[in-house]
Structure 1
Amino acid sequence: MIGILICLMIVGIVLLVYMYRLAHENNVIFNSFSFVNYPSSFRPLQLFFISDIHKRVIDDKLIVQVKAPVDAVIIGGDLLEKGVPFSRVEENVKNLQKIGPVYFVWGNNDYEVDYHYLDSLLLSLNVKILDNTAINFESENGEIISILGVDDLSQERDRLNVALKEAEKNSFKLLIAHEPPIVSKFTTKENISLVLAGHTHGGQIRLFGYGPYELGKVHHLEHTTLLVSNGYGTTGVPLRLGAKSETHLITIKGTD
């Protein structure tokens, strides 16, 4: 009996070490999207998408994997949570700025801290906050790409209609939101080609393939394409199982 207990303890310790290591990997997933309505006067757009950083420190190993510079680094919410020092946020943002200009949308955990201070800190670091707003990029030919971002859905702060008003009507539209259910708030008429979201952590800890959320993946919907990321960090416990930590290097281009 004692031998069995010792074996179980060893297995438990090994499993915890494995789960901890899994939660601290620096995985970069390469995603490529082709759209018939992508403006031909733009070269392919390269984005680095990272969501749900929470308590993690951005590892230099992650930065090295990304072939800098990218056109934009997009933080898909939950940059931090309660208990995370703002000095870590500043360090993480500066690390991400090594590979490109940084854009940010609010997540639910970002509101656990003094979010007014977080807002001013990000602005001082030249981070563009997409809180129910849009930023437009125009080519020499007058074609436009719009990156829209909405505030946190869980606190009913999202105002997609306001963001759409700031985007050019006939532009190629990319939407950033922390929570994936944003896709239920628009139809084909808004002409949003791609949505990037996080929040779910892929379930974070999945037992026998089951978890509270499905694994992050690309969903091809009738009215848009949705990428849901497992995210970079963890919440609750610094462990993962069956849902690896991930970030995304995304290429968006036209069809051949």
Structure 2
Amino acid sequence: MQISDLHFGFFYGPEQLQTLVDQVRSLHPDLFCFTGDLIDRRFSRGEAIKVSDLLKQIDAPYRKFAILGNHDYWGDTALVKDCLTSAGFRLLINEWTLVKKGNDVISVSGLDDLLNGKPDHSKVFNDARFDLDLFHLMLVHEPDFAKVISSDPVDLQLSGHSHGGQINLPFFGPLFTPPLSRKFSSGLYQINERLTLYTNRGIGTTILPFRFACRPEITVIELG
């Protein structure tokens, strides 16, 4: 399961987050991924504690993973990291790990934000312990990075960032598409024979506090 782009603090508060958490819990995810932009700009310690307590309610037996988005670097980044780890997320910043379910094993990796962080996917692929033949799930906040890794051993990239355009106008399309999300702004894309990309429309909003023809999204993916 994937959610993205809460933008907590920009017309999105504890009440809305509790509703989201309840929806996620009702779906009983095995593995839960958050693909960045926990906050919009500012984040107080009190808000961080509240958000952490709410996200802690989400249970995923095969772990919860998170990456940072560009907005997570606009406020207190250390506080954002602490909030996520305190809520039980494994924060992946240019690193990878294994997830095992019975005899099945997959690798899960995450990159630092492309715009404001220090992304380095070579730290994943150049690790001698990394098994190139395993199914590989990579979390990347900005979806257009799929073209960069299209020749790398990645099977599924999960991204956010775009909000699906947030406002979709008839005969025009998405009104807002931030950099590095203009090619793959929403939904499922088959990049090549191996790599599939899914761009989540996100939960919250930014710039304007509403959406049009672009509903917020919880993505449920079944791996065969």
Give the superposition deviation at 1:112: 1.3
CA contact (8 A) 1:51 1:232 kept: yes
CA contact (8 A) 2:70 2:117 kept: no
The 3 A distance-change label for structure 1 pair 63 and 169 is: same
1:212 paired residue among 169, 176, 185: 176
Give the superposition deviation at 1:173: 0.5
Q: Deviations 1:44-93 (Å, cap 9, x if unpaired)?
A: xxxx1000011233243663465553222111000112234313421442
Give the unaligned 5+ runs of structure 2. none
Relative to structure 2, which stretch is displaced further, 83-92 or 220-229?
83-92
1:155 paired residue among 116, 124, 137: 116
Instruction: Point out which structure has higher relative CO (alpha carbons under 8 A, 6+ apart).
Output: 1
CA RMSD, aligned part only? 2.3
Q: Name the TM-score, length of structure 1 as normaliser.
A: 0.71
User: Is residue 243 of structure 1 aligned with residue 214 of structure 2?
Assistant: yes
User: Is residue 221 of structure 1 aligned with residue 191 of structure 2?
Assistant: yes
Partner Cα separation in structure 1 for residue 59 and residue 99 of structure 2: 21
Partner Cα separation in structure 1 for residue 132 and residue 48 of structure 2: 38
CA contact (8 A) 1:68 1:99 kept: no
More helix as a share of residues: 1
User: Is residue 134 of structure 1 aligned with residue 96 of structure 2?
Assistant: yes
Match of 1:94 in 2: 56
User: Is residue 53 of structure 1 aligned with residue 6 of structure 2?
Assistant: yes
User: Is residue 63 of structure 1 aligned with residue 27 of structure 2?
Assistant: no
The 3 A distance-change label for structure 1 pair 247 and 138 is: closer
Aligned residues: 203
Match of 1:34 in 2: none
Relative to structure 2, which stretch is displaced further, 236-245 or 64-73?
64-73
For residues 1-256 of structure 1, the aligned pairs below 5 Å read: 48-55=1-8, 56=12, 57-60=16-19, 63-64=22-23, 67-84=26-43, 85-95=47-57, 97-99=58-60, 101-138=63-100, 141=103, 144-155=105-116, 157-164=118-125, 165=127, 167-188=130-151, 190-208=152-170, 209-210=172-173, 211-213=175-177, 216-222=186-192, 223-253=194-224
Partner Cα separation in structure 2 for residue 135 and residue 187 of structure 1: 20
Of structures 1 and 2, the larger Rg is shown by 1
The 3 A distance-change label for structure 1 pair 140 and 204 is: closer
Identity %: 25
AA aligned opposite 1:153:
L
Partner Cα separation in structure 1 for residue 114 and residue 140 of structure 2: 8
Give the superposition deviation at 1:186: 1.8
Partner Cα separation in structure 2 for residue 228 and residue 53 of structure 1: 15
Give the superposition deviation at 1:156: 5.0
Q: Deviations 1:231-252 (Å, cap 9, x if unpaired)?
A: 0111122200121111111111
Partner Cα separation in structure 1 for residue 25 and residue 56 of structure 2: 15
CA contact (8 A) 2:135 2:155 kept: yes
Q: Name the TM-score, length of structure 2 as normaliser.
A: 0.80
Give the unaligned 5+ runs of structure 1. 1-47
Partner Cα separation in structure 2 for residue 212 and residue 60 of structure 1: 26
AA aligned opposite 2:107:
S
The 3 A distance-change label for structure 1 pair 117 and 64 is: closer
The 3 A distance-change label for structure 1 pair 249 and 157 is: same
CA contact (8 A) 2:147 2:191 kept: no
